[in-house]
A = this chain, B = another copy of it.
Amino acid sequence: MSAYDVLCIGNAIVDIIARCDDAFLVENGIIKGAMNLIDVERSALLYERMGPAIETSGGSAGNTAAGVASLGGTAAFFGKVSNDHLGEIYRHDIRAQGVAFDTRPLDGHPPTARSMIFVTPDGERSMNTYLGACVELGPEDVEEEKARGAKVTYFEGYLWDPPRAKEAIRMTAEIAHAAGRQVAMSLSDPFCADRYRGEFLELMRSGTVNIVFANEHELLSLYQTASFDAALSAFREECRLGVVTLSERGSIAVTREETVSIKPVPVENLVDTTGAGDLYAAGFLFGYTHGRSLADCGRLGSLAASLCIQQIGPRLQVSLKDAAGQAGLL
């Protein structure tokens, strides 16, 4: 028996979300649609310039864990916060969603990570992340029983940014594989895929990772090509299961044997794309760990993503289980 459907590992981040126009991004040197890493000084400067904001727990893999739980799945999370107010918010929100979260917090320094997210009128989000406490996540934070007990261990590529999180990932993957489990990752961001191309490809080629989630920009970045078909062919060969999200064109799941195209769920009112990919992964992995077909996994992912982008912030304000039930997917 598995203790958890999905164990997620990621940077534990509180999101600070505000609207801005495109000129603001240009004036402040923020790369649109990307995750921009910033230091504490730039964090203070951008906050000073930021409009009225709302705060919500975030972090890519944390969002996925919350999404799995919102679907009625069992999820656990490894991630580092500090013993400060944002850390309290983070811990409260993920536990209140039903996710097991027991990573030991830091004693206040560096502070809990925050990402200032600017949402432009087109709904696109541009993130500015101060990693704070996340830089301290390391192999000592691996909880063996959870690593052994989760059907799928899922981590975000962003974890290659802090210095020692990758050691925690390699250790967790080893434990998971030894227990006959599977390991999944997300490429996170085109620039992240570019920064760690070699290591990400090695993770795939060595079988450390079995399932990889990417959007098309990340996939093209990983393979340094402008040809989607070429990238997809390589991707199909190099991971056991590759899942590519294509925004309003849906998504596609590939193995060496099959290619499954998944239609998007229509979106009436695009508000904020923050968390779309994370929630897609949540829906997909819930389906996958419940023995559903790849097509059904993709449908669950699309539904979760569509709900996510019609609200502010990456943590769903509605029950994904109810929504999936109404859509006939459960």
Contacts and interface: CB of A to CB of B under 8 A. Distances in A.
Interface residues of A, number: 26
A234 B51 CA distance: 43
A242 interface: no
Q: Main secondary structure on chain A at its contact with chain B?
A: mixed
18 contacts: A47-B92, A51-B96, A52-B66, A52-B93, A52-B96, A52-B97, A53-B89, A53-B92, A53-B93, A54-B54, A54-B56, A54-B313, A54-B315, A54-B317, A55-B55, A55-B56, A85-B85, A311-B312
A42 B84 CA distance: 20
Nearest to A271: B317
A57 interface: yes
Copies of the polypeptide in the assembly = 2
In the A-B complex, the 4 residue pairs with the smallest Cβ-Cβ separation, listed nearest first, are A55-B55, A85-B85, A52-B93, A54-B56
Nearest to A94: B52
A181 interface: no
A50 interface: yes
Contact of A53 (B18, B50, B85, B96): B96
Interface in A1-33: 18-19
Interface in A77-99: 84-86, 89, 92-94, 96-97
Nearest to A51: B96
Contact of A92 (B50, B57, B317): B50
Contacts of A97: 51-52
A28 to B, nearest CB: 14
A315 B56 contact: no
Given A50-B92, A52-B96, 17 more contacts: A18-B96, A50-B96, A51-B96, A51-B97, A52-B66, A52-B97, A52-B315, A53-B92, A53-B93, A53-B96, A54-B313, A54-B315, A54-B317, A55-B89, A85-B86, A311-B312, A312-B312
Contacts of A55: 54-56, 89
A96 B51 CA distance: 5
A168 B55 CA distance: 31
A55 B55 CA distance: 5
Contacts of A317: 19, 54, 312
A55 B86 CA distance: 11
Nearest to A16: B89
Contacts of A312: 54, 311-312, 317
Nearest to A53: B93
Interface string A235-265: 0000000000000000000000000000000
A294 to B, nearest CB: 29
Contacts of A311: 312
